[in-house]
Amino acid sequence: MELPFFVSKRLARLRKVDLHFRNQQGLFMSRFEGKRVLITGGTSGMGLAGAQRIVSEGGEVAITGLNETRLAEARKLLPASSLILKSDAASEADIETLAATIAQWGALDGLWLNAGYAEVGAPESVTAESFNRMMNANVRGPMLQLAALSGALHSGASVLVTASSSVYEGAAMTSLYAATKGAVVAMVKSWASALAPRDIRANTLVPGPIETNFRHFMPEESRQQFEDFVVSQVPLRRAGTAQEAAAVALFLLSDDASYVTGSQYAVDGGLVHY
């Protein structure tokens, strides 16, 4: 007797979860075995840490970045089968090229939109140029990337977007950056509803102070003072590592989170409470 579609779909999902449970017991391959994941902003920090772990768990990765040195370093750290692509999240032409490249590579099981850009300053320092620059990278970029890459997503795929604890901190010097990341939180909630009929999940990662090179734009002394202040507000009294942030990201990208969508997951040592 043929089962109703919704029953067959539910049984398939349960089999996936069971397979991963057995893998945890050492009986099967890793949770990303046979899966393809694209990570934008994947040449350093949590993005690169995530790519390395996906590979170690049997998956294939494509990553993007802009810095030539980091792109070259990533090529040394990841298997030759990985796609290491120079791509600017703020460039419409680059997004179109990325989508065409991924279409040739194969359908995606995971899409982590992690590329971002930050500046800090008083509200009075914001100019039309700085506003457009950050909005283009942090809001327009992922919005257009999802639009271009949606057709490449498998049924059952996972979309993850990196936001920031700055959205909830109310820090005096991060109003523009926090606004861009607040927009990310809002759009992902809408994506979760829009993509659900295709059995595609969408969630937001909310990192707090993570030990990465993300604040490289700040002078060394200012950066250290800023990070020391932020860490002093963290209940765990330390910054997180890129690997700790990537671990939560990979949970959301994997079938372990098969019933999680439209959610925000903070990796912040208890910095914000929302």
8 Å CB contact between 61 and 82? yes
Q: Annotated catalytic sites, by residue?
A: 177
pLDDT along the chain (274 residues), means of 10: 49 53 53 97 96 97 97 97 96 98 97 92 94 96 98 97 93 92 98 98 94 60 70 86 96 97 94 77
Q: Are 269 and 240 in contact (CB under 8 A)?
A: yes
| DSSP conformation letters of 159-184 | EEEE--THHHH--TT-HHHHHHHHHH
Which pLDDT value is given to residue 6?
Answer: 47
pTM for the whole thing?
A: 0.86
DSSP-based three-state secondary structure for 20: helix
Residue 172, CB-side half-sphere exposure with 13 Å CA sphere: 4
Residue 185 class from Cβ within 10 Å (0-12 exposed, 13-18 middle, 19+ buried)?
middle
According to CATH, the superfamily of the domain at 21-211+241-267 is: NAD(P)-binding Rossmann-like Domain (3.40.50.720)
202: enclosing H helix or E strand: strand 201-207
